[in-house]
């Protein structure tokens, strides 16, 4: 009997980290390792009163760096329900069986099948022409129904102002930013921000937003201390300056990124 591998408690104890992908049902994606056994890892959320045991088989790679925050990969999307985590299972749609499936007898003898069908049609008073006509009408009705549906969708997209593509940003200079950039590096590349905000009561991770309304976006920094905050992504402000949509995120060497953090980060 093989011995299970030891859990990576040496990397995670006393250090905050974030899961990727984030656990569904938990808004704040910052955790600390509380206990580790050969079969599971007990983690506690730093902002919410949530403590949950996660089987070790769901743990993946750990990011090589903890700047701006350590990322722990999950091999499967998990959902928090009833005090524990469950795998997220996507529904599988089954294709319906063909309506006019040929019988084994028909496949075995085409000539005899044709004569039998003609005999059945004659007994029931149904002609082959009437059957073909009904199938043709059914195909035409389906086609026109789909065309009408597509026309309605096009009209909604075309005529509803809320569904039209919104303004994202006036430039893409934020693409030059990297995960090593701090406040001074951002100012050197983009200039001084119009506003500099810190998110209050954000736990052990500090979030800093540098607003550039003339460019249409805000640059987000994150770190355990204000002086150590580094770039994690850019949020679009929209045409009215009230939007808050991720435009750009960073990725670590092992594939984990900050898009999940940006999607759950409220505007401040």
Angle, CA 75 vertex, CA 70 and CA 81 arms, to 5°: 90
Q: Indicate whether 238 belongs to any domain.
A: yes
Residue with tokens 């052990």: 204
Q: Indicate whether 149 belongs to any domain.
A: yes
User: Which domain covers residue 59, as residue numbers?
Assistant: 9-87
Q: Indicate whether 96 belongs to any domain.
A: no
Q: Indicate whether 16 belongs to any domain.
A: yes
Q: Are residues 257 and 228 in the same domain?
A: yes
Residue with tokens 């990727």: 20
Q: Are residues 224 and 155 in the same domain?
A: no
HSE at residue 228, side-chain half, CA atoms within 13 A, is: 10
Judge contact between 48 and 26, C-beta under 8 A. Answer: yes
Minimal CA–CA distance to 85: which of 143, 42, 46, 142?
42
Boundary residue ending a domain (135, 163, 191): 163
pLDDT of residue 156: 79
Q: Are residues 250 and 177 in the same domain?
A: yes
Q: Indicate whether 214 belongs to any domain.
A: yes
Query: What is the three-class DSSP state of 243?
Result: coil
Minimal CA–CA distance to 193: which of 172, 220, 175?
220
Q: Indicate whether 24 belongs to any domain.
A: yes
Angle, CA 50 vertex, CA 48 and CA 54 arms, to 5°: 135
Query: How far apart are the C-alpha atoms of 173 and 171, rounded to whole Å?
Result: 6
Q: Per the structure, how many domains does the chain have?
A: 3
* pLDDT tens over the chain, length 268 residues: 454 454 566 678 778 999 999 999 899 999 999 888 888 989 999 999 899 999 999 998 888 777 788 899 999 899 999 889 999 887 777 777 666 555 555 455 556 666 665 665 555 555 556 777 888 888 999 999 999 999 888 887 777 654 444 445 678 999 999 999 999 999 999 999 999 999 877 777 889 999 999 999 999 999 988 888 999 999 999 999 999 999 999 987 666 889 989 999 999 9
Bridging pattern class, strands 17-20 and 70-74: parallel
Span between the terminal Cα atoms of the chain, in Å? 53
Distance of CA 164 to the CA centre of its chain: 22
Query: How far apart are the C-alpha atoms of 234 and 222, rounded to whole Å?
Result: 12
Q: Indicate whether 98 belongs to any domain.
A: no
Q: How many Cβ atoms from other residues are within 10 Å of residue 144's Cβ?
A: 10
Q: Distance of CA 152 to CAs 155, 171, 250, Å?
A: 5, 34, 39
Q: Are residues 153 and 192 in the same domain?
A: no
Q: Indicate whether 108 belongs to any domain.
A: no
Judge contact between 9 and 33, C-beta under 8 A. Answer: yes
Q: Are residues 123 and 60 in the same domain?
A: no
Q: Are residues 214 and 245 in the same domain?
A: yes
Boundary residue ending a domain (100, 128, 163): 163
Q: Are residues 156 and 208 in the same domain?
A: no
Query: How far apart are the C-alpha atoms of 219 and 221, rounded to whole Å?
Result: 7
Q: Are residues 201 and 258 in the same domain?
A: yes
Boundary residue ending a domain (43, 69, 87): 87
- Which DSSP symbol is given to 227? G
- Which DSSP symbol is given to 244? -
């Amino acid at each position: 009997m093989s011995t299970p591998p030891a859990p990576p408690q040496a990397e995670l104890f006393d250090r905050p980290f974030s899961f990727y992908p984030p656990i569904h049902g938990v808004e704040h994606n910052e955790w600390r390792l509380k206990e580790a056994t050969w079969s599971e890892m007990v983690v506690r959320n730093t902002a919410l009163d949530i403590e949950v045991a996660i089987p070790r088989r769901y743990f993946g790679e750990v990011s090589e760096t903890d700047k701006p925050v350590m990322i722990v990969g999950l091999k499967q999307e998990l959902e928090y329900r009833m005090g524990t985590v469950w795998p997220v299972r996507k529904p599988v749609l089954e294709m319906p069986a063909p309506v006019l499936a040929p019988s084994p007898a028909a496949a075995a003898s085409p000539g005899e099948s044709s004569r039998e069908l003609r005999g059945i049609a004659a007994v029931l008073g149904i002609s082959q022409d009437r059957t073909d006509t009904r199938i043709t009408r059914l195909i035409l009705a389906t086609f026109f129904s789909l065309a009408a549906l597509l026309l309605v969708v096009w009209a909604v997209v075309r005529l509803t102002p809320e569904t039209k593509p919104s303004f994202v940003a006036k430039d893409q200079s934020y693409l030059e930013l990297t995960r090593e950039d701090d406040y001074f590096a951002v100012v050197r590349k983009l200039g001084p921000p119009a506003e500099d905000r810190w998110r209050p009561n954000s736990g052990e991770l500090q979030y800093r937003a540098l607003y550039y309304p003339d460019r249409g976006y805000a640059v987000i920094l994150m770190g355990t201390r204000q002086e150590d905050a580094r770039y994690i992504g850019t949020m679009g402000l929209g045409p009215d300056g009230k939007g808050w949509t991720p435009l750009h995120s960073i990725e670590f060497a092992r594939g984990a990124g900050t898009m999940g953090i940006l999607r759950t980060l409220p505007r401040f």
